[in-house]
Amino acid sequence: MCGIAGILSLSPAARVEPAALDTMTAQLVHRGPDDEGRYVDPRGRCGFGFRRLSIIDVSGGHQPLANENETVWTVFNGEIYNFRELRTELEQQGHTFATRADSEVIVHLYEEHGEACFERLAGMFAIAIWDQRRGRLLLARDRFGKKPLTYIFHAGRLYFASELKAILALPGLPRELDPQSLHRYLIFQYVPAPHSIYKGFRKLPPGHVLTVDAEQPRDAQSHAYWRLEQRVFDGTYEDAKTRLGELLTAAVKKRLVADVPLGAFLSGGVDSSIVVALMRELGVSPLRTFSIGFPEARYDETAYARQIAERFETEHHEHIVTPRAGEILDTLAWHYDEPFADSSAIPTYYVSRWTRESVTVALTGDAGDECFAGYDRYRAVQLAARFEVVPRPLRRLLAAAAGLFPHSRPRTLGNRLHRFASALAQPPARRYLSWVNIFPPELLAVGYRDEFRASIDFDEPLAWFDGLYDPAPGPAPNQAVRTDFASYLPFDLLTKVDIASMACSLECRAPLLDHELVEFSLSLPLSWRLGPRSGKHILKDWARDRLPSEVLQRPKMGFGVPVGEWFRRELRDLVRERLLLSDSLSNHIFRPEWLHELVNSHLSGRANYEHPLWTLLMLELWANKWRPIGFGADA
């Protein structure tokens, strides 16, 4: 796991300077504190910078590295889980290896297969390959977007890096706020790829490769080398359970390869508990587990995590997050580069920091909910689809009556009924959006200042979401699952974990996001995943002999943070101080009287705006840290 950076000159007169690469990698030390490296093409056309977190072949896996005759160079962030199989194949084809590192298979695989090499890789990665003979740079990202890669064409050069801050550290690089991406952020709590919060910057989408010819940069183009196709499992339910066990075991086993200590995040939920169970079955010793909790009982899962730790005799570590977590918000704003408003970044950062005190690699249960329809909202989608037979006027009446349910407190029955009923009259894609967005579009429509509204295409993010949801095959819950795989999973969940963990120099691996396991899970009939009483039906059925019934049968809690309650107590002054000042970025986007009402309605308990307020707070902290240009952010 590492941090990578690079520059490609698009003009013969502009050589890449080593000092610029050093400036970039100096911003990525947290991603790779163990080693550093640099390469510059003999003609100065291309340069790579590298920071290493040593995991495999600790003494010999230095980067950048090359093939035997140094005509193909690479820098790489991530892990290739099938590197041993690929190495054996390549050695049989005559390739010679100088290290035991997984990174070296990349250059030799490129020699054999060209751009098609990325299809052969199983793992998480952001890769840069410089083909010196052809004068060609390739940038690629793994199938699901576990590892980040951002870039910009500017002043006759292409700059790329694992994190925006590495590029912004160079003098003269623009940081002009993109109002359209700001609008996207307010709806989704993240800026989806390929967009960036800054004009001109791009994020390479998951499963894509960008090819740039130094002599013909205008022909640069990115395209998908992999897509999540629809497949149909043709065996029996028992066949599926058997195959599921094989894939789960293989996925965990592949992610145990490391020359450094490893452990696991343990929430006490089904997914992380299965990962821990399989680590124990595969002989991991000592088996170290790490949990995070909250003083508020509605958000705390530590009792379940403790039960799993005792069952599998792990070396368990447990910590509690308090409202003093607000002290790290400026740190998070720096690490995330763009405004990012998933409040569970707080416990993710803390559990990563405490885990790093004991191990260098942690396995997680991420993606189990997407693979096996575990979110409660998938059942809500299924139920709402049944209301489609109800005439729309009647559904509008039901939606209008939603306000009768008490909804000022999250995670209550009244709040859930309110959210469900209020969306019944909307088309399916917009209904699902209303359950996953942060600011409802109708709330933004009345809140935006006229000048900000005039600078954006208001409906563009909505059309993007429709374009993900509507064409997805299968029944409504399948549409929601596939939409999450193309939006929430890569741009929220995986971004959150990568940035928070790498801020602490910790590598996180997600066995349930193994691409063969994902493809298999989505090939199963919906009823095998979204069972009669809960999601993850077949997963829980498979785990019945491994996990206690209390863990398998308990309601899903989720990795939430009680920020709404914190806002009304410990963080009350911080919200007012940051959002309501006349020179805040929020005051340049929204009408002041609307903004005051939003804040006061939540603080008084009349309404629940915890997620919108958190989104605005993180926007203000980001703007204060990074000083973007535009809409008052540079005031």
Which residues are known catalytic residues? 2
Q: Can you give 541-563 as a three-state secondary structure string?
A: HHHHHCCCHHHHHCCCCCCCCCH
The Cβ of residue 62 has, within 10 Å, a number of other Cβ atoms equal to: 17
Peptide bond into 64 cis (omega under 30): yes
Q: Which of 62, 61, 213, 204 is nearest to 137 (CA)?
A: 213
Identify which of 217, 197, 278, 241 has the alpha carbon closest to the alpha carbon of residue 626.
Answer: 197
CB neighbourhood size of 634 (10 A) = 13
CA–CA distance, 310 with 316 (Å, rounded to integer) = 8
Helix (H, G, I), strand (E, B) or coil at 219: helix
- 476-486 and 460-469 helices, crossing angle to 10°: 120
Instruction: For residue 307, give both structure tokens.
Output: 């039960």
Euclidean distance between CA atoms 68 and 299, whole angstroms:
54
Q: Left, alpha or beta for 326 (phi > 0: left; psi -120 to 50: alpha)?
A: alpha
The residue among 25, 29, 131 whose CA lies nearest residue 505 is 29
Whether residue 194 is preceded by a cis peptide bond, meaning omega within 30 degrees of 0, is yes
Q: Looking only at Cα atoms, what is the longest distance across the chain?
A: 73
* Buried residues in 91-103 as b, exposed as e (16+ CB within 10 A): eeeebeeeebbbb
